[in-house]
Amino acid sequence: MNFEELKNTIKGEVMADERTRTAYSRDASLFEVMPTAVVFPKDADDVKAIVRRAGEARRRGEQVSITARSAGTDMGGGPLTESIVLDFTKHFTHMGKVQPLLNFTGGDPEGFIVAEPGVFYRDFEKETLRQHLLLPSYPASRGLCAMGGMVSNDSGGEKTLRYGKTHDFVRRLKAVFADGNEYEVKPLTLEELKAKEALPTFEGEVYRNMHALLEEHYDVARAAKPNVSKNSAGYNIWDVWDGKRFDLTKVLVGSQGTLALVTEAEFRLVEAKPYAGMVALFLNDLNEAVPVLNALTPLQPTSLESFDDKTFSLALKYFWGFLKILALNPFSLMFAFLPEFIMVLRKGVPKLVVLAEFEGKSQEEIDRYLASAEKELTNVQVPYRIARTKRASAKYWVIRRESFNLLRERVKGMQTAPFVDDIIVRPEHIPEFLPKLMAILDKYGFFTTIAGHLGDGNFHIIPLMRLADERERAKIKPAMDEVYALVLSFGGSITAEHNDGLIRSPYLEAMFGERVYGLFKEVKNIFDPQGIFNPGKKVGASMEYAMAHMKRS
């Protein structure tokens, strides 16, 4: 593509200097891929023009493609490309005002808000909290991530157990399709679907072909849904069509920009509960996890999180680093952690720390939740502590939320290597699954911490490695093969929240089977017949390519 011509075509900026390209060659993953240019579209007309130009270039035989990027916090290499990066964070930063949703059921108040993909979640949340509302599917990178990435990856996090993932909160989208036109995508009734299918346009073609595909393979698509509480692997074809409602937002959310370019999203919001309390449990045996979950899950905690003994030990070792985060003086911090120090001296570091948080509209409601939790734990012989307020819970949340940063910033001479960072199995399998998982990681000599969403059976595992050492790098592929084979043997998913990107896309056929993977390829071809959007992710991926583009520092 002639970038000088492109500069004269759009209102935004086109950058092809080495410094800019280098800055966009990395995200939070293991990979480094140098783009040919970075484009900052000014508005939807720019996005449409870029897509049309890319289509023209493809018809001329040029290997031009477009990869959307927001904040670059992806841990799987999703926004990396050798062609054009489209950065939305410079100009696509507008959001509307929070609007109330009419609620006739007598439940908690809800609302909705429209935002562009370059809006950072931290700014989005400030706006929604002014109206005491929240998008609860935010990830751990809530202070860094942007809305486009949340939609692209179908993000989830600490509140997903109670509320669900991002696809549960997207009411409608605006997206530029492969024909270079922007369309509104929302749930359709059967009559509305028929009207879309009657259109003599590319949009009509997409609806006709997707409906036909899902109608023909209805049972196969529905059966393909992984039997876990959340999944970001593959294309979400199982939730698009139920025989009454047709909703393409379900397949666009989580598609990592491989089907269309999202320019706007409308999000449903839920009430932000002002009070919270926590039960922190200290497990010395992984077999205690299931009884704890059986006792607490029926009480519907907002979050049911965990971190392992290595994370806990790092937190104690570097606990002075929490001073700034917790805004406590040294004496207050020592006093806050005194019970944990005493417990460690008496019984050693627990194998797993479990955090069950309850949210409510009053302290009285929190006290009732905590009293119920204590009652349910009567027959579960596990040490625990009660934190009755958000402030009392803060020290545990800092350890859980900062576990990745503890590794990345505090352990010198090694890099975090996220390649099995988001696996999920059903919670009842945890006592059998985790020891087998740790045996694989120990076999390869990885130092790892495990933290995650215990209530979902979703674990984030970040080995520390010396990536410049070829012998260390050579361990990654065989270790992934073993870990993912283990996950799939338990009926799990290779990614619950982080999505496929470069790192996991090559494993999708193994996870879903040849037939369903074939449906994924058909979905890609329906939306993107020329292969314009983010190639090499979801379908057509190459493990050899991924390994060849692994960073060394």
CATH number of the domain to which 339 belongs: 3.30.70.2190
Q: How buried is residue 231: exposed, middle or buried, by Cβ count under 10 Å (0-12/13-18/19+)?
A: buried
Among 408, 434, 450, the domain-final residue is 408
Q: What are phi and psi of 312, to 5 degrees?
A: -60, -40
Among 380, 408, 436, the domain-final residue is 408
Distance (Å, rounded) from C-alpha 10 to C-alpha 8? 6
Q: How many domains does the chain have?
A: 2
Residue 463 included in any domain = yes
Residue 366 included in any domain = yes
Max intra-chain CA distance, the chain: 74
Q: What are phi and psi of 370, to 5 degrees?
A: -65, -35
Tell me what pLDDT residue 317 has. Answer: 72
Range of the domain at 326: 275-408
Same domain membership, residue 458 and residue 356 = no
CATH number of the domain to which 439 belongs: 3.30.70.2740
Residue 364 included in any domain = yes
Cα-Cα-Cα-Cα dihedral sign, residues 239, 429, 340, 299: positive
Tokens representing 186 are: 């929302």
Distance of CA 160 to the CA centre of its chain: 11
Q: Where are the beta strands (DSSP E) in 82-198?
A: 84-87, 99-101, 110-115, 133-134, 170-176, 182-185, 188-189
Same domain membership, residue 449 and residue 395 = no
Closest CA to 69 of 418, 416, 537: 537
Distance (Å, rounded) from C-alpha 494 to C-alpha 499? 9
Please list the residues that pair with 267 across neighbouring strands: 113, 170
Nearby residues of 83 by Cβ (< 8 Å), 6 or more positions away:
35, 36, 37, 63, 64, 65, 66, 67
Tell me what pLDDT residue 441 has. Answer: 95
Distance (Å, rounded) from C-alpha 505 to C-alpha 537? 6
Cα-Cα-Cα-Cα dihedral sign, residues 453, 454, 460, 464: positive
Cα-Cα-Cα-Cα dihedral sign, residues 425, 428, 433, 438: positive
Please list the residues that pair with 246 across neighbouring strands: 188, 241
Same domain membership, residue 490 and residue 456 = yes
Tell me what pLDDT residue 70 has. Answer: 97
Tell me what pLDDT residue 3 has. Answer: 87
Residue 428 included in any domain = yes
Same domain membership, residue 485 and residue 447 = yes
pTM over 0.85: yes
Kindly list the distances between the CA atom of residue 371 and the CA atoms of 351, 365, 376, 387, in Å, as whole numbers in the listed order. 25, 10, 9, 12
Instruction: Say how many C-beta atoms besides its own lie within 10 A of residue 544's C-beta.
Output: 10
Same domain membership, residue 347 and residue 292 = yes
Residue 361 included in any domain = yes
Residue 202 included in any domain = no
Q: Give pLDDT < 70 ranges for the chain.
A: 103-106, 318-338, 341, 345, 403-412
Same domain membership, residue 309 and residue 387 = yes
Distance (Å, rounded) from C-alpha 144 to C-alpha 469? 30
Tell me what pLDDT residue 397 has. Answer: 86
Same domain membership, residue 353 and residue 380 = yes
Indicate the residue type of 32.
E
Same domain membership, residue 441 and residue 454 = yes
* Contact between 83 and 63 (Cβ < 8 Å): yes
What is 436-501 written as a DSSP string?
HHHHHHHHTT-EEEEEEEGGGTEEEEEEEE-TT-HHHHTTHHHHHHHHHHHHHHTT-BS-SSS--H
User: What region, left, alpha or beta, does residue 54 occupy, with left being phi > 0 and alpha being psi -120 to 50 degrees?
Assistant: alpha
Residue 311 included in any domain = yes
* Contact between 354 and 246 (Cβ < 8 Å): no
Same domain membership, residue 390 and residue 444 = no
Same domain membership, residue 428 and residue 386 = no
In the three-class reduction of DSSP (H, G, I as helix; E, B as strand; rest coil), residue 319 is classed as: helix
Please give the helix or strand (H or E) that residue 366 lies within, else none. Answer: helix 363-376
Distance (Å, rounded) from C-alpha 186 to C-alpha 347? 55
Closest CA to 8 of 35, 62, 59, 46: 46
Same domain membership, residue 280 and residue 400 = yes
Distance (Å, rounded) from C-alpha 285 to C-alpha 356? 18
Tell me what pLDDT residue 400 has. Answer: 83
Same domain membership, residue 385 and residue 465 = no
